Amino acid sequence: MSLAQLPIAVPTWRDLLEILIVAAVLYRILKFLAGTRALQILLGLVVLAVIYVAAFLLKLSMITYVLGVVFTYGAFAALVVFQPELRYALARLGQARPFGFFGGRSASVVAEEIAETVERLSQSATGAIIAVERDVALEEYLDSGTRLQASLSADLVATIFSPYSPLHDGAVVVRGDQIIAAGCILPLTQQMLPSKTMGTRHRAALGLSEETDALVFVVSEETSGISVASKGSLEQGLTPERVRELLARPAARS
């Protein structure tokens, strides 16, 4: 008996190609949603869908009707609820190749600006914390500070962290070549810090690195030292060259 005579469908190369494309798209969507409030909302919708199916099978007409109305108008509500995430997704699409050719600065220029920033702040013993967004969106932390849309520059970041600036106590969040927020409050780690000279900034940097894949640079006000938190660990005594190297390295893919 040949394969064509078997009572099962034999996938063609087009079917396999479609499966790979859909799987890749779903993976990127879940990667994008990770670390944002959108993931919790999506899980809530999945729970509602399970309840709807159960109510339909059990013939619970009132629950089925109410959830049917919710799903009917849910698309309009999603546009409102997911507005920040949708705006972020479109912005990331515009930064991707080949669209990125038309706008945005290269990673080397961004790395140079941040390296110059932390070196300047270190020389003046000015405390600072700079979170560089990678694959996991930092959207949920932006509302704790002041949203901005400014081109990244060493002069601007140094001004934000000057002692008399109202935003100097929080973190600056960098997305691509843009400063998207300042004065942000980050989650604090429960780890024991390796040195008593480290304070809230280092604890916040570690806390964010435990929950996301961001690179979080810290300039110590007490020691003028430069550190970076990544994947729940802290590297101290950074030089500007090391900062450039870290920013040039692509985020690890899971």
- Three-state DSSP class for 152? coil
* Strand ranges of the sheet holding 128-132, from the earlier edge strand across to the other edge: 146-151, 178-184, 171-175, 128-132, 215-219, 226-230, 233-235
Q: Note the pLDDT tens digit of each residue in 110-129.
A: 899 999 999 999 999 999 99
Mean pLDDT of 53-60: 89
Neighbours of 54 (CB within 10 A): 12
d(CA 245, CA 58): 60
Q: How confident is the model at residue 86 (pLDDT cuts 50, 70, 90)?
A: low
Mean pLDDT, the chain, whole residue set: 82
What mean pLDDT comes out for the span 150-169?
A: 90
What mean pLDDT is predicted for residues 29-46? Answer: 67
CB atoms within 10 A of CB 30: 11
Query: Which residue blocks in 35-179 are alpha helix, DSSP H?
Result: 37-57, 61-81, 83-95, 107-123, 139-142, 154-160
- Per the CB < 8 A criterion, the answer to whether 144 and 184 are in contact is yes
Crossing angle for the helix pair 83-95 and 61-81, to the nearest 10 degrees: 50
Q: How far is CA 8 from the centre of its chain?
A: 43
User: Which H or E run includes 26?
Assistant: helix 13-33
d(CA 182, CA 200): 16
SS3 label, residue 147 = strand
Which of 81-117 are b and which e, b meaning 16 or more Cβ less than 10 Å from the residue's Cβ?
Answer: ebebbeebbeebeebeeeeeeeeeeeeeebbbbbbbb
Residue 48 has pLDDT above 50, yes or no: yes
Domains of the chain (ranges, CATH numbers) = 3-81 (no CATH), 105-248 (3.40.1700.10)
- What tokens does 88 get? 């972020």
Read off the pTM.
Answer: 0.63
Torsion angle defined by CA atoms of residues 162, 166, 170 and 173, in that order, rounded to the nearest 10 degrees: -80
Instruction: Give 164-220 pLDDT, tens digit per residue.
Output: 888 888 999 999 889 999 999 999 998 888 777 788 899 999 999 998 889 999 999
Give burial (CB, 10 Å; 0-12/13-18/19+) of 228: buried
**Residue 31 pLDDT greater than 90, yes or no:** no
- Integer Cα distance of 194 and 189 in angstroms: 13
